[in-house]
Amino acid sequence: MDHFHIHGGELYAEDVPLSRIAQEVGTPVYVYSRATFERHARVFREGLSGLERPPHLAFAVKSNPNLAVLRLLGREGYGADVVSGGELARALLAGMPAHDIVFSGVGKTDTELAQGLDAGIGQFNIESSEEGRELAAIAAARGQVARCALRVNPDVDAGTHDKISTGKADNKFGVPIDRAPELFAELSALPGLDLRGLAVHIGSQLSELAPLEAAFAKLADSLRTLRGGGHTISHMDLGGGLGVPYRKGEVLPSPAEYGEMVARVTKGWDVTLMFEPGRVIAGNAGVLLTRVIRVKRGLNDPFVIVDAAMNDLARPALYGAWHDFDAVKPSGERMTANIVGPICETGDTFAMGRETDALVSGDLAVFRTAGAYGATMASSYNSRGFVAEVMVDGSDFAVVADRILPGAIADAERVPDFLA
Ligand SMILES: Cc1ncc(COP(=O)(O)O)c(C=O)c1O
Ligand SMILES: N[C@@H](CCCC[NH3+])C(=O)O
């Protein structure tokens, strides 16, 4: 059941017409469905019900760090996968138990490592021997022991966009998997570290299971080698990466199919498996609601200029990503158009030559599948401020992030005395 649905000729989020949100909050605005978030959280968990032990689920905060989203997922029993001190602070602020937080990331600073130790987080995913030694020193100096996993790079092609692939040998992430035994031995000998497992994450928006299976199979080999070397391994973190459909009719592996593959590959591992899903939980739980500023004649197709732009939703400009685009009140007429924002660069293009609902100035429309890597990647380019976010709950809705106006951003700046 789609919680973004047409009712009486108009697009709703749950029981709220999107036109009401536009009227009360303005546009552009991200709109999330609480029911969809909850459904996705449950479907992902159910997909993993065939595992030998209950898994640890850590939502990838980077995909949607809104506090309301984190609170909701915390209530669903999810912890957090964080990659910065800022994300760690958000997860804690949202009420997620520190013990359920995993700290990933290739460049954690000493301050961030200490922040994780202060909070007493569940696990650090160490991405280099250098980082491991730094963490060990910081922890030991405080008389603490940091629970860790070593992130390995399995050199597997995830078959996704180059910019969001993370598991090829020349990517910056993790340590080469064939060096895992040597590095594990080195790091596990350090006081201050409780090195208890391996972690892997080969990329995002994966449309096939085969690369994940190949990575997990390599992990199985490492697990055997490490145990053969006398190491105790209690946790294995399989990361995130499961893709979602961005186009109507597109079919991707389901959480159930993913879970079946994971259960098969990890049979007999005798560990607690950890997961870091982001997009599969958040992607289709949100849309970006926008209003058409005007329709301008083009050389071939007309330009539909909307009030959302690449600063609000960066994925099309960054990765050439496709987001379905639909009218809030479709008339039944269709048009072929270039969908663009108002920003002063050609990259501020959501789609060229797109067949879409016919739209005129003032009409409302949505970019779909915008709940993950949407608001979180916004900037204030062209001094446009930061977009607002709304969460719908049945017939109710709340603004869960205020629109930050350009003036508030300018307020944080100042002209120095030497220019007065
Ligand atoms: C370490 C790590 N874990 C989890 C994720 C979440 O990935 P996804 O949103 O594709 O599930 C990412 C982002 O790709 C990541 O870098
Ligand atoms: N920002 C990317 C995903 C990156 C995942 C980060 N590990 C996207 O929008 O698709």
pLDDT digit string, tens, across residues 282-337: 999 999 999 999 999 999 999 999 999 999 999 999 999 999 999 999 999 999 99
CA neighbours closer than 13 Å in the CB half-sphere of residue 259: 19
Confidence category of residue 271, pLDDT binned at 50, 70, 90:
very high
The pLDDT of residue 18 is 98
Please report, in range form, the residues annotated as the binding site: 241, 276-279, 315, 319, 345, 373
Contact 151, 126 (CB under 8 A): yes
Mean pLDDT computed over 326-349: 97
Give percent above pLDDT 70 in the chain: 100
Task: Count CB-CB contacts under 10 A for residue 273.
Answer: 22
Answer yes or no: is the C-beta of 239 below 6 A from any ligand 1 atom.
yes
Question: Does 177 lie in the same domain as 108?
Answer: yes
Chosen domain end from 219, 252, 278: 278
Where in the sequence is the domain holding 252, given as residue range(s)?
34-278
Question: Does 361 lie in the same domain as 259?
Answer: no
How far is the C-alpha of 58 from the C-alpha of 45, rounded, in Å? 11
Q: Which residue has the tokens 């490592």?
A: 113
Question: Does 169 lie in the same domain as 95?
Answer: yes
Instruction: Label the pairing between strands 325-327 and 364-367.
Output: antiparallel
CA neighbours closer than 13 Å in the CB half-sphere of residue 282: 33
Question: Does 365 lie in the same domain as 219?
Answer: no
Question: Does 313 lie in the same domain as 166?
Answer: no
Q: ∠186-188-194 over CA atoms, to 5°?
A: 155
Query: Which residue has its alpha carbon closest to ligand 1 atom 12?
Result: 240
DSSP H stretches of helix in 250-395: 255-265, 279-282, 315-319
Q: Please tell me the pTM assigned to this model.
A: 0.97
**Count of structural domains, the chain:** 2
Residue 197 lies in a domain: yes
Ligand 2 centroid from CA 372, angstroms: 8
**Per-position DSSP letters for 154-197, written without gaps between them:** ------S-GGGB--STTSSSSEEGGGHHHHHHHHHTSTTEEEEE
Residue 125 lies in a domain: yes
Contact 386, 406 (CB under 8 A): no
How far is the C-alpha of 8 from the C-alpha of 311, rounded, in Å? 33
Q: 215 pLDDT exceeds 90? A: yes
Question: Does 250 lie in the same domain as 392?
Answer: no
Could you report the per-residue pLDDT of 10-60, keeping only the tens digit for each?
Answer: 999 999 999 999 999 999 999 999 999 999 999 999 999 999 999 999 999
User: Which 3 state secondary structure label does DSSP give 100?
Assistant: helix
Answer yes or no: is the C-beta of 128 below 6 A from any ligand 1 atom.
no
Residue 420 lies in a domain: no
Ligand 2 centroid from CA 204, angstroms: 6
Task: Extract the tokens encoding 1.
Answer: 């059941």
Could you report the per-residue pLDDT of 149-203, keeping only the tens digit for each?
Answer: 999 999 888 888 888 888 888 888 899 999 999 999 999 999 999 999 999 999 9
Ligand number with the minimum distance to the CA of 158: 1
Answer yes or no: is the C-beta of 40 below 6 A from any ligand 1 atom.
no
Chosen domain end from 233, 262, 278: 278
Instruction: Label the pairing between strands 175-176 and 364-367.
Output: unpaired
Question: Does 267 lie in the same domain as 306?
Answer: no
Best CA proximity match to 140, nearest among 85, 190, 196: 190
Query: Which residue has its alpha carbon closest to ligand 2 atom 1?
Result: 373
Answer yes or no: is the C-beta of 307 below 6 A from any ligand 1 atom.
no
Answer yes or no: is the C-beta of 63 below 6 A from any ligand 2 atom.
no
Residue 419 lies in a domain: no
Q: Is 148 known to be catalytic?
A: no
Chosen domain end from 236, 253, 278: 278
The pLDDT of residue 266 is 98
Question: Does 82 lie in the same domain as 162?
Answer: yes
Q: 1 pLDDT exceeds 80? A: no
The pLDDT of residue 298 is 92
Task: Count CB-CB contacts under 10 A for residue 25.
Answer: 19
Give the residue, out of 88, 126, 166, 276, with the most ligand 1 atoms within 8 A of its beta carbon, to mutate for a pocket test.
276
Please report, in range form, the residues annotated as the binding site for substrate: 279, 315, 319, 345, 373
Question: Does 223 lie in the same domain as 138?
Answer: yes
Atom of ligand 2 nearest to the CA of 373: 9
The pLDDT of residue 155 is 87
The pLDDT of residue 171 is 85
Q: Which residue has the tokens 């079946």?
A: 260
The pLDDT of residue 163 is 86
The pLDDT of residue 166 is 83
Answer yes or no: is the C-beta of 376 below 6 A from any ligand 2 atom.
no
Mean pLDDT computed over 87-109: 98
Question: Does 304 lie in the same domain as 243?
Answer: no
Question: Does 178 lie in the same domain as 59?
Answer: yes
The CATH number assigned to the domain holding 56 equals 3.20.20.10
Look over the chain and give the mean of its residue pLDDT values, rounded to a whole number.
Answer: 97
Give the residue, out of 315, 323, 379, with the most ligand 2 atoms within 8 A of its beta carbon, to mutate for a pocket test.
315
Could you report the per-residue pLDDT of 126-144, keeping only the tens digit for each?
Answer: 999 999 999 999 999 999 9
